[in-house]
Amino acid sequence: MAQSQTARQIAETTVEVRATGHVRDALGVPKLSYTFEGDTLREFVEAFFADHDVRDLVIAETEAESTTRGWAPIDAADVPGNLRKNPDGEQTRAYARILVNGQFNENLDGFDTELHDGDRVALVNPFMFCL
């Protein structure tokens, strides 16, 4: 028996998107309200990047894009707490980050983080100036 469209409602979530640096320049605004189908960061990212061409400013496709020369190697056994890294394909570029209500997404549930109406999603890719 097929479910009717009214019986199976697709959730919509509206979040406040904040953008800094290169992402802000590309969007042309520092913040905007965004409604998407679903309720996870993964669904937000897929919808937002389909509507706004800023994916390459935030998401790393390779390990080399997610790290930068000069960072000290980390021995996870010596680090207190829970050192977590997003899986391949869900990592941000070096210096770029995605935050949900002020917390790095990898410190929550990564791209599986649940979003609610009114949550703040920040797409951060700061300008880097070296003299």
Q: Which of 97, 86, 109, 32 is nearest to 58 (CA)?
A: 97
User: Does the pTM exceed 0.85?
Assistant: no
What is the chain's percent helix, strand, coil content, to nearest 5? Answer: 25, 25, 50
Domain architecture of the chain: domains with CATH: 12-69+77-125 (3.10.20.30)
- Per residue in 59-102, pLDDT tens? 878 777 777 666 566 666 666 666 556 666 667 777 789 999 99
- Per residue in 9-53, pLDDT tens? 678 999 999 999 999 999 999 999 999 999 999 999 999 999 999
